[in-house]
Amino acid sequence: MADIAAPQDPPKSGKKGGKALILGVFLAILAGGGSFYAAWSGLIPDFRAPSHAPVGDLPDIAFVPLDPIIVSLPGKGQVRHLRFAAQMEVESAYRTEVEHLRPRVLDLMNGYLRAITAAELEEQAALIRLRAQMLRRIQIVTGEGRVRDLLITEFVIN
């Protein structure tokens, strides 16, 4: 029975585990210190503080609402309608002049929207294209520089 294996020596405790623990603590302190320095020096922006310059005054603009327009869309079979409403963004100095021309603008938009087919309106970029086309036509009718933008507030096809 002399062939019985001698019992294994118990593992040495603390030698390798202690080195790993010390290395982990050292790296955590190093990462924390590096993070603090990066935030303190401005390398990492402070998201709590505003990072932009003060906002200036708003431009001197006014909005001229246009009456809603309902047009029937040409198509095969069923009758579909488009309900459209918008506002014109104008320089405040030109507000009364543009309001005076509102019937002409509505006539222009009514004619333009009646010429559009339902298939054209279903395209993905249709609203962007229509807005650009109508804005250009409105600027021609009202005079260059009076209408800054056309804001579409309602665009419903049913």
Together in a domain, 73 and 142: yes
- Residue 78, domain extent: 61-157
Q: Is residue 5 part of a domain?
A: no
The whole-model pTM stands at 0.63
Type of residue found at 33? G
**Does residue 8 lie in a domain region?**
no
> Strand 69-73 and strand 61-65: pairing?
unpaired
DSSP annotation string for 86-126: EEEEEEGGGHHHHHHTHHHHHHHHHHHHHT--HHHHTSTTH
Count the Cβ atoms, other than its own, within 10 Å of residue 90: 22
Please write the tens of the pLDDT for every residue from 15-41. 667 888 898 899 999 999 888 888 778
- Domain assignment present for residue 4? The answer is no
Residues 155, 119: Cα–Cα separation, whole Å? 15
Residues 77 and 98 occupy one common structural domain? yes
Q: Into how many domains does the chain fold?
A: 2
For residue range 81-103, list pLDDT tens digits in order. Answer: 999 999 999 999 999 999 999 99
Asked whether 138 and 108 are in contact (CB, 8 A), the reply is yes
